Amino acid sequence: MAKITINGKIFDVDPELTVIQAAAQNGIEIPHFCWHPKLTVSGNCRMCLVEIEKMPKLAIACSTRVADGMIVKTESDRVIKARQAVMEFLLINHPLDCPICDEAGECKLQDYSYKYSVGYSRFDENKVHKPKRVRLGPNVMLDVERCIMCSRCIRFSDEIAKQPVLTFTQRGTHVVLTTFPDTQLDNKYSMNVIELCPVGALTSTDFRFASRVWEMSSTDSICVGCSRGCNTHVWVRKNEILRLTPRFNEAVNSYWMCDSGRLNTFRTVNSQERLHSPMIRKDGVLVDVGWDEAIARAVSDLKSFKKSEIAGIASAFATNEDNYVFQKVMKEVIGTKNVDYVQHVEDDAGDELLIRADKTPNSLGTRQVGVRPAEGGLDITGILKGIEEGSIRALYVLEDDIAEDPRFAAALPNLQLLIVHASVNSKTARFADIVLSCSTFAEKNGTMTNFAGRVQRLRPAVATLEQDRAKDGFAMSRWDKFASQNDRWGRSVKKDARPTWRVLTAIANALGAKLKCTTAEEVFKEIAEKLPPFKGMNYINLGSQGANANAAESVSKQKVTA
């Protein structure tokens, strides 16, 4: 270990660290633009200049390695004047775009201008003008006038995304960020440069001009696009998700997130196809009904079949809590042995960075909570065959659009009863006799287990009409209550969706069971008490980073869907 002194305080640090890393580990902020802990050092912004005793000049903290006995000053008069000079140079040609810039409110240049600059400019000449609204690729827009040439985006493209298409051209104050001829920034991780950019030079074509950061709420959650379970922030305004951004978790996704996860996973939540209430089929047509009528109909219809004629298909898109209650209701309350789930694995659809071939967020967790056939029961292949042959006459499907598979689509008309939990008007829901409108990942509490066995939290970011939502971790404000019932123009749009586990509990109790869980947290408590992979876990100790299951099962690679 090396013993160094920073601003009069002595620290023991790893001698392999740089000054900026050592300071950060000990809670001391050294301002910087170009340095990033996951990228190589470029040392071109000069914002991290510090004073080191026995060095004749100020040194950049990002590339200066610590040494035993080193004495560092980050707030001396020389350092303060140097920072002010760096800020003055950066702002000379920077446009005054803060009122219209998407980065306003989360811009390092804006923050540092308040904190480290002198607050006025001595420059009274014409600013250098550069290209604006330049499409670098399908998802990223560039405003070159705002660029401070930190090169973070270039290094990310080269080193992390492995698509070296960005470069600087020209010289001096006329330097321009651009792509190489006949190329564009279109890799699967291109939108990470938006967060990497410390200013508003790189913005999202999807989110551009949609909202100010201070007008949105941010909720910690996870991406449900594949079995990686990347940690995310869900950004909501007027009860509508406007964007997803990556949240740091070194054990899962580091600082990154794929473009597909950002752009596609939340569309269901905002979809015009959302189901706003339960439905039952009357005279061949699905009609909206209340929850009491839907649950009563489900209970009545299920009672008319033999146990062996009923099958349940759980979902790797649903939470551990949903799947646990489902398999418990199917096996212990209804009494069927025919319980399984469909895996969605796309061969050659993964990569070495984040994206997984398994396109479900909770395949491992679904198996760990007990979703498998009871002894002598049918697995997913057997269930499909039973439907085709007529031995399975009633099917209960949980949050999975199994009709996307042509084999299921052809077989479902053979059923006499199909109950479906769905959040949108899916292909499977159109075949159903009873549709139970369920909350999406952004509307409920729960957990999911990623491919590596890490159990992670979902938290409600969007409000629904569920009356006891506050019990489930989401205290609705007046605006939440209004927005959950009205669209952006104030027109009534009731979204009466409920967590799947809660609906299943109501059905089970109507069938004579005595399930007592009233919150998702209570369901998870029971899971942790009964199932070894979750032993010792609770919502509190999972925190924002999750925790690895004590025993990680390997999930078989059976596939019955595209």
The answer to whether 447 and 458 have CB atoms below 8 angstroms apart is yes
| Topology adopted by domain 95-270 | Alpha-Beta Plaits (3.30.70)
Q: What is the per-residue DSSP string for 145-203? A: GG-----HHHHHHHHTS----EEEES-GGG-EEEEPTT----STTTTHHHHH-SSSSEE
Q: What is the pLDDT of residue 427?
A: 96
The pairing of beta strand 394-398 with beta strand 339-341: unpaired
Angstrom distance (rounded) from CA 455 to CA 215: 31
Band (pLDDT 50/70/90 cuts) for residue 489 is very low
Q: Which pair of tokens denotes residue 327?
A: 């398999």
C-alpha distances out from residue 238 to 216, 428, 442, 479, 490, Å: 8, 30, 14, 8, 10
pTM, two decimal places: 0.91
Whether residue 494 is predicted with pLDDT greater than 60 in this model: the reply is no
Angstrom distance (rounded) from CA 547 to CA 251: 9
- Residue where the block lists tokens 């969706």: 497
Q: What is the pLDDT of residue 147?
A: 96
Q: What is the pLDDT of residue 465?
A: 83
Give the closest residue to 354 by CA, choosing from 453, 228, 222, 249.
228
Q: What is the pLDDT of residue 559?
A: 42
CA torsion sign, 364 to 366 to 367 to 370? Answer: positive
Q: Which residue has the higher pLDDT, 395 or 516?
A: 395
pLDDT tens-digit profile of 328-373?
999 999 999 999 999 999 988 999 999 999 999 999 999 999 999 9
C-alpha distances out from residue 273 to 57, 268, 430, 437, Å: 63, 8, 12, 12
The answer to whether 484 and 239 have CB atoms below 8 angstroms apart is yes
The pairing of beta strand 310-314 with beta strand 394-398: parallel
The answer to whether 429 and 420 have CB atoms below 8 angstroms apart is yes
- Residue where the block lists tokens 């078989």: 556
Angstrom distance (rounded) from CA 31 to CA 17: 17
Q: What is the mean pLDDT of the chain?
A: 92
Q: What is the pLDDT of residue 495?
A: 76
Non-local (6+) Cβ contacts of 334 within 8 A are 302, 307, 310, 312, 511
Class of the CATH-defined domain 279-459+496-548: alpha beta
pLDDT tens-digit profile of 165-205?
999 999 989 999 999 999 999 999 999 999 999 999 999 99
* Right CATH for 2-91 from 3.10.20.740, 3.40.190.10, 3.20.20.70, 3.20.20.140: 3.10.20.740
Whether residue 468 is predicted with pLDDT greater than 80 in this model: the reply is no
The answer to whether 500 and 330 have CB atoms below 8 angstroms apart is no
Q: What is the pLDDT of residue 124?
A: 84
Band (pLDDT 50/70/90 cuts) for residue 475 is very low
Angstrom distance (rounded) from CA 506 to CA 122: 70
The answer to whether 548 and 453 have CB atoms below 8 angstroms apart is yes
pLDDT tens-digit profile of 413-451?
999 999 999 999 999 999 999 999 999 999 999 999 999
Give residue limits of the domains in the chain: 2-91, 95-270, 279-459+496-548
Band (pLDDT 50/70/90 cuts) for residue 492 is very low
- Residue where the block lists tokens 């290209």: 131
Q: What average pLDDT does range 132-153 have in this prediction? A: 96
Whether residue 149 is predicted with pLDDT greater than 70 in this model: the reply is yes
Q: What is the pLDDT of residue 486?
A: 54
Angstrom distance (rounded) from CA 530 to CA 278: 32
- Residue where the block lists tokens 């992670």: 456
Q: What is the pLDDT of residue 150?
A: 96
